[in-house]
Amino acid sequence: MVERRLTCLAVIVLLWGGAILKNLVSLQIVHHREYTGKARAIQEVVVDIPAPRGTIFDRDGQPLAMSLASQTVTINPLKVDVGVAADLLGILLHLDRTELFGKIQEARDAGRGYLIVKRKLTPEEYESVINLGLEWIRVSHESQRHYPKGTLAAHVLGSVDFEEKGNAGIEKGLDDDLRGKPGRTRLLTDVHRRGIDSHESTPAKPGVPITLTIDERLQFVAEREIATAVAAHHAESGSVVVMNPYNGDVLAMASYPTFDPNLPLERGQDPKPRMNHAISVPFEPGSVFKVVTLSAALETTNLRPESPINCNGGKITFGSRTIHDSHSGMWVVPMATVLAKSSNVGAIQVGLRVGQQNMYDYMRRFGFGQKTNVPLPWESSGRVFRLERWGKTSLASVSMGQEVSVTTLQLAQAASVIANGGMLVKPRLVLKKGNQVQQPSTPVRVLKPENAITMRQMMEGVVLYGTGAKARLDGYSSGGKTGTAQIFDFATKHYTHTYNGSYMGFAPLTNPGVVVVVTLNGTRGEGGMGAYVAGPTFKVVASEALRVFDVPKDLQEVVPPGTQVAQNNKQDLNDLAIGDLNDGAHNVLEDGDDDAPAPVQTAAVYGPPPAPVAVAAPAKPAGPKVPNFRGMTMRAVLAEAAAKGLTVMADGSGVARVQSPPPGSPLHQGERIRVQFAR
C-alpha cells in the first residue's frame, strides 16, 4: 500500500517536473526570441534621433539655410486635467489660456493621446518646463530650420514644413540630399516608463551640405533693385537673373514680391509672394525675342547687318490683320537698325525670309519650350507651339515676340548663347553636393561663332543708338535688347494696355563676364515700356556684378559721340510688340484658347507713374532691444536670435566682434541685425 502511494507520488513529481522542464524549454529555447521581444517592448522605448538637414551655402561659403536645435512641448490630453494643463502651460509658454484650453479639450474629445502644445521654445521657456519635472509634460528635442539672411534668396532656398520636409525651392528640389537619415536609440525604462539608461544607439546621419552658385552680395543687389523697380513703376511682380554665360552658373535669381522663409505660410495668407517669377511665370517676351529672329536669319539666310529691310513706313497687313510699329516713317533700313530701333514690321520681314521651319527650329535650339531643369520645383517650360498648330499669321507674331511664352531664366539662357560665342549652356544652380563638384552641362552649338559675334555687335547698337540707351553702363561696353509685350486678356481675347517690360543684356562686349535679364510684369502706360522700367535695373545690377567679379573696365566713362538718349514718350515705345494700337485690338490668338500663351497675372489698373518727388520716410515703430552678441559663436548667435524671433545677417567666421545696431538699442520694424565675426 505504501509502495503504491510512493509510486503514485513519484509519478506525480515526474509529471510535474516534466511540465516544468517543458515550460523551461519553451521559454528558454523554443519561444526565447518571442518572449524576449515582448519583455523589451515593455521595458524599452525606441526613440528616433532627428537628423539635422544639410546646410545650404552661397558660392563663397556663406550660410543661407541651417539647422538649429529646438525643443517642443507635448502632452497626452487623455491623461491630464484640461483646466490645470491650460492654466499652467499658458503661463509657462506664454500662450492664450482660453485658446489652449479649447485645443486640449478638442483633442481629448477626439480621443487623441498626443498634442503638440508649442514648438521652438525660448531658453527661458525650456528651463521653466524642465524645472517642473512633471511626468505628463514631455519635452522632445528637434531640429529647427533657420534662414540667417531672412528674405535673401528666399525663392531659391524655399522653405520646410513643420516636419522639416522641404516644400519649396532647393529645400524641396534637393530634399533627399538635405534631409539626412534619422538615428535611433533604445531607452531602458522603469515600471513608470521613466528612462533610466540607453543603449544600442544608431547615430543620426546629417543631410548633405549644398553649395549654390548664388553670390550673396549680388543676390542682395538684385533683390533690392527689382523691389525698387516694381514699386516705382506700379508693376505687379518682377524678376532678375544674373548668369555666367560660359558655365551657366546662376549668380543671382531674384523675384518680387518676396517672403521670409523663417515664417510659415499661415491659413488664408496670400501665397503669391512665394511664387518664383523667374522660373514659374511664363510671359510673352515681346521685342527681346527679335534677337532669336535675327540670329536665325544670320544662320539660315544671306541676310547680314547691312542688308536692306523694307519697314514699309511702319505698317504691314496680313489678311484682315494690320500690324504697326509704334513709330511711323521708317522705310528701307539696314537689318541692324531693325534691331536697334526695334521695328516690328522689320522683324516680320526678316522672319518671313527665315521661314516657319527654321524659325521653329531655332526657337527650340535656343532652349524655348523646354525646362532648363534647375533643381527647383514648379519650373515652367514656357510654350512653343508645334508647327502644325501655327496659323497664317503665326510666323509674323513669333518674329516680334508674340504667340510664344518664356521665363526670365530661359531668356538668360538664350542671351548666354550670344554672349559666349554660340553655345547653349544649361543654367547651373548647385555648385557642390557635399565635397562633390557638380559639373556644368555639356555645351551644344547653336550659332556659328562669327554669327554670335555679329549679334553682339548689333545688340551693342541697341545700347548706343537705339532703345537701350538707359541701360548703358559706365566704363563698360555692353549689348542688350529691350522688350515690351502687351498682356493678353483671356476673358475678352484681346491684348490690353498692360505690359510686361524686359531687358536682356551682357557686358563687356568682348568676352562678356555676365548676362543679366530683368522682367517686370503688369506695368501700365508709356511708363511700362521695357527700356524705361527694366533698362535702369539692368544697369545697376550688371555694374555691381562686374565689380563683384573684378571684370576690368574696357571703356572711358564718357558718352561716345552720336549716342542717343531715348525719351520715354518716343523711343521707348519702339520696342512695343503690338498688332494694333487701338484699344481692344483684336488679336491673332482669338480663334482658339489653346493657342494662347500661358496666363500671366495682370496688375491692378494704375495711371502713368507720376514724376518722382521727395517723400520723407515714415518713422519706424520701436521694437525689441538688440541683444549683446559680442564674444559668442555664430551658432550661439543664430540660436538666440531664432529663439527671440530676430533676423541676423552674419558675416565672417569665429566669434562675434562687431554688431549693428549696438546692444540695447531698439530694433525697428523690418530692421536686421548685422554681426561681423572674426577669429
Residues 411 and 480 in one domain: yes
Q: 122 and 11, same structural domain?
A: no
The residue that leads in pLDDT, 357 or 617, is: 357
Query: Does residue 101 belong to any structural domain of this protein?
Result: no
pLDDT at 253: 99
660 and 591: one domain?
no
Going from the C-alpha of 2 to that of each of 11, 12, 14, 79, 380, the distances in angstroms are 14, 15, 18, 63, 100
Say yes or no: 553 and 464 in one domain.
yes
Domain total in the chain: 4
Instruction: Write down the pLDDT at residue 606.
Output: 26
The 10 Å CB-count burial string (b at 16+, else e) for 458-489 is bbbbbbbbbbbbbbbbebbbbbbbbbbbbbbe
| Distance from C-alpha of 557 to C-alpha of 285, rounded to nearest angstrom | 32
**CB within 8 Å of 228: residues ≥ 6 apart:** 537
Instruction: Say how many C-beta atoms besides its own lie within 10 A of residue 138's C-beta.
Output: 14
What pLDDT does residue 258 have?
A: 96
Q: What is the pLDDT of residues 659-669, one digit of tens each?
A: 888 888 886 64
Residue 432, judged by CB atoms within 10 A of its CB (0-12, 13-18, 19+), counts as middle
Is the same domain home to 19 and 146?
Answer: no
Rounded Cα–Cα distance for residues 447 and 367 (Å): 13
For the domain that residue 171 is a member of, what is the CATH number?
3.90.1310.10
Confidence (pLDDT) at 672: 67
Query: Among residues 212, 232, 252, which one ends one of the domains?
Result: 212
221: containing domain = 216-595
**What is the residue-averaged pLDDT of the chain?**
84
In tens, the pLDDT along 392-431 reads 999 999 999 999 999 999 999 999 999 999 999 999 999 9
Read off the C-alpha cell for 177. 540630399
pLDDT at res. 565: 45
Say yes or no: 328 and 207 in one domain: no
- Give domain status of residue 176, yes or no: yes
Angle, to 10 degrees, between the axis of helix 290-300 and the axis of helix 344-354? 40
* Mean pLDDT across 449-471: 96
Which one is predicted more confidently, 461 or 606?
Answer: 461
Question: What are the backbone angles phi and psi of residue 395, rounded to the nearest 5°?
Answer: -60, -40
316 and 330 housed in the same domain = yes
Q: What is the pLDDT of residue 246?
A: 96
267-289 pLDDT tens trace? 777 788 999 999 999 999 999 99
- DSSP 8-state code for residue 286: G
Cα–Cα nearest to 625, from 649, 639, 644: 644
Domain identity same for 234 and 195: no
Is residue 588 very low, low, confident or very high in pLDDT (cuts 50, 70, 90)? Answer: very low
Q: Kindly give, in sequence order, each residue whose CB lies less than 8 Å from that of residue 557, ignoring residues fewer than 6 positions away.
A: 474, 475
In the chain, % of residues over pLDDT 90:
53
Asked, as a colleague might, if the bond just before 624 is cis with ω within 30 of 0, I would say no
Q: Residue 403: which CATH number?
A: 3.40.710.10
- Does 160 have pLDDT greater than 70? yes
The DSSP secondary-structure symbol of 33 reads: H
What pLDDT does residue 58 have? Answer: 98
Confidence at residue 48, expressed as pLDDT on a 0 to 100 scale: 73
Please name every residue paired with 500 in a beta bridge, in sequence order, or none if there are none: 485, 521
Please check the confidence at residue 124 and state whether its pLDDT lies above 50.
yes
Spatial distance between the Cα atoms of 379 and 429, rounded to a whole number of angstroms: 13
Question: Which pLDDT does position 594 carry in this prediction?
Answer: 34
Q: Where are the beta strands (DSSP E) in 247-306?
A: 250-256
Are 70 and 28 part of one and the same domain?
no
Lowest-pLDDT choice from 28-32, 34-38, 111-115, 559-563: 559-563
C-alpha 569/C-alpha 577 separation (Å) is: 16
Instruction: List C-alpha distances in Å: 364 to 289, 337, 459, 648.
Output: 13, 26, 21, 44
String of DSSP letters for 622-659: P-PBPP--TT-BHHHHHHHHHHTT--EEEEESSEEEEE
Enter the DSSP assignment of 111: T
Question: Taking the alpha carbons of 533, 536, 540, 545 in that order, is the dihedral positive or negative?
Answer: positive
In the numeric block, which cell numbers belong to residue 9? 507520488
pLDDT at 365 over 60: yes
User: What single-letter amino acid sits at 386?
Assistant: R
The more confident residue out of 492 and 374 is 374
**Of 212, 232, 254, at which residue does a domain stop?**
212
* Strands annotated E in 76-227: 115-118, 137-146, 159-160, 166-168, 183-189, 195-202, 210-212
- Angstrom distance (rounded) from CA 95 to CA 86: 9
**Residue at a domain's end among 196, 212, 228:** 212
Sort strands 576-577 and 648-652 into parallel, antiparallel or unpaired. unpaired
Same domain for 439 and 364?
A: yes
